[in-house]
Amino acid sequence: MKQSMIGLENIQFHYDPGKTILNDLSLSVEKGSITAILGPNGTGKTTLLHTILGLLAPQAGEIWIAGKNIADYKRSELSQVMALVPQSEVVPFNFRVIEYVLLGRTPQLGFLDMPSEQDIELVRETLDLLEVSHLEQRAVTELSGGEQQMVVLARALVQQPQVLLRDEPTSHLDLSNKGRLLKILETLAQRGVTIVFSTHDPDAAAMIADHVILLKAGAVLDAGLIEKVLTSEKLTQTYGTEVKVLEIDGRLVTLLINGRFGKIEEVI
């Protein structure tokens, strides 16, 4: 566990006594991997991400980040190692895009330091990478949902994290933006960033993940390489309904079997 980029050992977490969310959960995430935390809604995926990030403290167990116990990090140090892109975010002020993304440099700056020209240049390079540089002077509150997701991702990336956590990254995106976003995550992994994302969509996991963690009722049902974990039997057990996994043109595709009507519907 200590040698992994992320290691969790026997994590127990509940918001209210008697209502366990994460139950004796252990897992390991390799450096530079793309890992999908896959499971149905309400199974603890978001809670798990917030626990990894240190926003929630477990009642039992240990968390290791880059070989160091999370308790030994200062909050500012942890923000230099990890960044989270939530499923949705409310922007309380009418920031321009460049101003909002520049907030991501805060963990890298000293107390009362102002952003440098290098910081601003990094912001512009990141906006260009995400193909949203044309939005630089737009107000964040005026953007579409897909544009806002890209801008929030840009803010996380300018932190220059070793680990990027994403909560349901493809939710509310059309097919074009979904494909573009997943390709960006692949590019980041190729640059050495460890990617961990939660999703209820097996096809999103199949498109880019090399490792999968199946989560059900706050416990790890199985974890490992995607070709060994993403199987018909294991997905059926995870979702409590019959799922078939096929290989089409060299990649895995998941199908939901609707026994009542005798039809096959693609999981979305």
Give 27-71 pLDDT, tens digit per residue.
999 999 999 999 998 889 999 999 999 999 999 999 999 999 999
pLDDT of residue 256: 80
Q: What is the pLDDT of residues 116-128, one digit of tens each?
A: 899 999 999 999 9
pLDDT of residue 261: 31
268 vs 246, higher pLDDT: 246
Kindly state the tokens that stand for 199.
């999703």
pLDDT of residue 265: 42
pLDDT of residue 101: 95
pLDDT of residue 20: 87
Euclidean distance between CA atoms 113 and 110, whole angstroms: 5
- C-alpha angle 29-176-125 in degrees, rounded to nearest 5: 65
In three-state secondary structure terms, 212 is strand
pLDDT of residue 260: 40
The overall average pLDDT reported for the chain is 88
Cβ-contact 28, 220 below 8 angstroms: no
Q: What is the length of the chain?
A: 268
| Percentage of the residues of the chain whose pLDDT score is greater than 90 | 57
Range in 141-155, 206-220, 252-266 with the lowest mean pLDDT: 252-266
Kindly state the tokens that stand for 84.
């989270």
Kindly state the tokens that stand for 22.
């994460």
Burial of residue 248, with CB atoms counted within 10 A of its CB: 0-12 exposed, 13-18 middle, 19 or more buried = exposed
pLDDT of residue 258: 65
Cβ-contact 252, 206 below 8 angstroms: yes
Q: In what order do the strands lie in the sheet with 243-248?
A: 243-248, 251-258, 263-266
The model's pTM is: 0.88
